[in-house]
Structure 1
């Protein structure tokens, strides 16, 4: 079909990391709030779905235009070449959102876009009757921002954070995409030890192992675009073959995770085995402040409890003080902690080398970075 304009959507604050991933796959891109914009062909769609660790979805841009009236939205939607994407039997639900726009009724915008596409397809396929919608699924979104409409088709299906390995999880699991972004914000590389002292269901250590062995995060899942008639099966097969060829299964790793709750350790182990990484990661029940190691120049990355609930606050603050004291002994290590607690540095007892604002779901957090010395060159 040629070239597509594509958008990789991301959580706020990690757009630059996703853009770096897109560039490393060989595509030029631009960054806007919550999205990375690039162009590519069918293989690009397959490769970015398989490889993007920090993006939420990959979408095809069908059209962009100003829309201040329902008539304008209808006519400009109908003018787009929907038949290039949707077969005659396509199932195409329309989702919507509207921010700071004259057309603020999302349900009305969805209905108008749906009717415009139906009219376009009826003309294109010379159909007098209704469209059956019994064929492959195409999820369409109309997004209105400041009176500008953006019409997209989702190629991913389930969000890209759904890698397929999470058999179980705890109360407040970190998204796999955010976990991967946090790892990329550290100075870790596969030759260095890596430890998560608050591992929960094991997401951060598992993502580290996937990165360490250069395993495509989407390798063991399916994508919505695989069902489309114009996306040849060979495209997906080639993309998966490439991923298999560049994976470094021989890369030795020293990755560990601990948690105070033995049930979470069992879940972590099950998730790691589901990901095919069970033998690579060591999980153990332990308090964070009891961490000890003989390794040097390691990286510790943790998403500790934030103490947001009143009853937990004192316990969490005491634990922050204790880990600050305990970790000082391992002065060649670098430490990274994600928390929403505004007084983390004071409690930890040390000023961060750097802070970075991120959102864990809807919670505004900071990644506190305490950089250790660089390892000596081998």
Structure 2
């Protein structure tokens, strides 16, 4: 596919080189359209060498080819990374003055903006209004990450990691609808850990890959996404707010807090059913005798609590989605869990050695409270994410 990579004048312009590589190595034809200021950070020869295509900032170059119209008309995707406050403002107001802004005005394909700027600029009412305008028009504006900025400053405004921007762009290129625009969703991911002592814990094999895929896909579909990440060692999904937790108690508190006012909650995390009754303050030493037994207590059932609160109070997320990882009697156990939990959808998948956990692919059956079911065959976890969000969107 033909991708236009717009690069505006921010220090994060150097990161766009990695994004360009990800596109070209995936077989996409990329035309880089930098602003004049962007070339002060990364020069034209670099963009031309990495893309294999000519680079220009001016509408007056190669006038006979009408580049200010043709580039946008022929693109399958336009992504601007980094997108400065200046470019966001010009795009929102329909202003032109160089090849990038004219390309944005003529493009009829999906457009993705990955903003990067200082926190004060990102949080300024003018920038927020411009972002809202672009989103209303159907553009995907990825919220920036929080972290180290230029100089000693730290805060929201950092360009997300290029691989995460690329994953959002891949979702847009595969044609996901913008059916979650204006919606707030919460996704739990990873696996909880229950401490035995300062060294050991009871845990599980969940990597968070499926939860993070759900988060990225929701961002691409226009949602405001909060991820409750339990012990996940993955880069933050671009455009999502990430809250990190460890134990089931911490996960419960974070999910219940984030779910206030949310349209949908997807509980993809693998939650420990039990925790040690007592936690040793020092490492338990091996002795010559039999080890002391570890007594367990049942953890709160977060999914059932979400459903019960909604039923009792008449408020809460419009759609609640649970996950059931089963080793045998998969569908029977799944249907029983769906009836007990009070959720709207339950994603049931078989787990075990070489299945689901830590793998890039997954297969599942999505059960519905109305008795319907949908089977998603083995494939990339993004396929299952697409199926889940399509069913959620239909219920919102």
TM-score, normalised to structure 1's length?
Answer: 0.28
TM-score, normalised to structure 2's length?
Answer: 0.27
Highest RCO, 1 vs 2 (Cα 8 Å, sep ≥ 6):
1
